[in-house]
């Protein structure tokens, strides 16, 4: 965008003289013959400098400067008053109050005018270059922020994928073991105990065989959704693989209530599942065998607790499936 200077004077001869003196200043000259015309030009243009005649009919230079000072995009534009009353201190103070940065007396001295215009153009160009550099820096900072956010998002996604089952979105075996060890570590500090429940889905293989693996996958996703909805916020659920799931049930103080909670989970999982298979829509009917181990001092490690729950799960399956068995 071209650098522009606004020259305001109601005398055509003065405009011609300014045009001649500033022909090689390196800026585009815009002329206005009145205060109103100058204000109109300022609506459509940005100026590096305004050379403003003080004595004009209808609206003098001071009034123009005052109105420009009230305009957001013009209040910082330097104004040099061009006046025959340069020696009048009152007028000069008035001009400074309205935003004048300098005065040039009429008749205009060519060298002084050109020198002062060059100074303000250099200042304007330096300010523009600084603003461009700041804009580029701001844009680069924004890009860096976006890049850091994207990298953090990608890293979070990788961490999530490493610790969660790709199909159901549940914590995987690795995260399950981590949460189980954490539960064991904090158990002595809490007034209540916790329990581990291992689940196998009864009838899952038949769904897979009869209706296809996509239907089996959809069934696993639906089971995961029911487990999420049925458990409390401080409980944990994980998919260990295939049709095997694990629950870490916190704040357990009553084993009778614990067994009832697990039976409710089993009842929820035994409700029908409307699905779509390779031969069309169908309703799957499955159930869950659940083995429960209540954590106490006899289960010193996560593996010991898992083995206890696994024994209970084997008893549940061996006893006819679709049931809960608890060991303590």
How many CB atoms are closer than 10 A to CB 101? 16
Is 243 an annotated catalytic residue? yes
Read off the DSSP letter of residue 245: E
CB 241 within 8 A of CB 173: yes
Phi-psi bin for 12: left (phi > 0), alpha (psi -120 to 50), beta?
alpha
The alpha carbon dihedral of 149, 155, 161, 164 has a sign of negative
Which residue of the set 243, 254, 281, 318 is catalytic? 243
Q: How is residue 64 written in tokens?
A: 């123009």
Beta bridge partners of 248: 196, 236
* Contact status, residue 206 vs residue 287, Cβ threshold 8 Å: no
Residues 6+ apart with CB under 8 A from 187: 193, 194, 295
**Cα distance between residue 308 and residue 327, in whole Å:** 7
CB 327 within 8 A of CB 293: yes
Q: How far apart are CA 258 and CA 262, in angstroms?
A: 6
Q: Both ends of the chain: CA-CA distance in Å?
A: 82
Give Cβ neighbours of residue 191 (< 8 Å, ≥ 6 apart): 253
Phi, psi dihedral angles at 196 (to 5 degrees): -115, 130
170 touches 224 (CB < 8 A): yes
Structure-token match 């049709």, residue found? 243
**Would you call 278 helix, strand, or coil by DSSP?**
coil
Q: What is the dihedral of CA 30, 31, 34, 38, to 10 degrees?
A: 0
Residues forming the active site: 243
């Amino acid at each position: 965008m071209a650098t522009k200077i606004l020259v305001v004077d109601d005398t055509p001869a003065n405009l011609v003289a300014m045009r001649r003196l500033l022909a090689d200043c390196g800026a585009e000259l815009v002329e206005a013959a009145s205060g109103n015309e100058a204000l109109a030009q300022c609506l459509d243009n940005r100026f590096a400098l305004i050379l403003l005649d003080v004595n004009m009919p209808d609206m003098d230079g001071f009034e123009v400067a005052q109105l420009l000072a009230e305009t957001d995009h013009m209040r910082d534009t330097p104004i040099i008053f061009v006046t025959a009353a340069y020696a009048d201190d009152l007028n000069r103070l008035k001009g400074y109050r309205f935003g004048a940065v300098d005065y040039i007396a009429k008749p205009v001295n060519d060298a002084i005018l050109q020198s002062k215009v060059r100074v303000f153009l250099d200042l304007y160009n330096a300010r523009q270059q600084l603003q461009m550099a700041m804009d580029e820096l701001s844009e680069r900072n924004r890009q860096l922020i976006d890049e850091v956010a994207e990298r953090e998002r990608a890293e979070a996604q990788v961490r999530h994928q490493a610790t969660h089952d790709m199909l159901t979105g549940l914590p995987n075996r690795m995260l399950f073991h981590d949460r189980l060890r954490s539960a064991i570590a904090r158990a002595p500090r809490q007034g209540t105990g916790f329990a581990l429940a291992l689940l196998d889905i009864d009838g899952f293989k038949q769904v897979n065989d009869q209706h296809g693996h996509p239907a089996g996958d959809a069934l696993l996703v639906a089971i995961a959704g029911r487990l999420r909805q049925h458990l409390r916020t401080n409980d944990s659920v994980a998919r260990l693989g295939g049709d095997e799931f694990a629950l870490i049930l916190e704040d357990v103080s009553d084993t009778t209530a614990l067994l009832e909670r697990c039976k409710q989970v089993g009842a929820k999982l035994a409700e029908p599942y409307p699905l779509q298979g390779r031969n069309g829509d169908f309703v799957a009917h499955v159930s869950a065998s659940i083995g429960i181990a209540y954590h106490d001092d006899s289960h010193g490690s996560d593996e010991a607790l898992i083995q206890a729950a696994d024994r209970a799960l084997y008893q549940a399956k061996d006893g006819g499936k679709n049931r809960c068995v608890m060991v303590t």
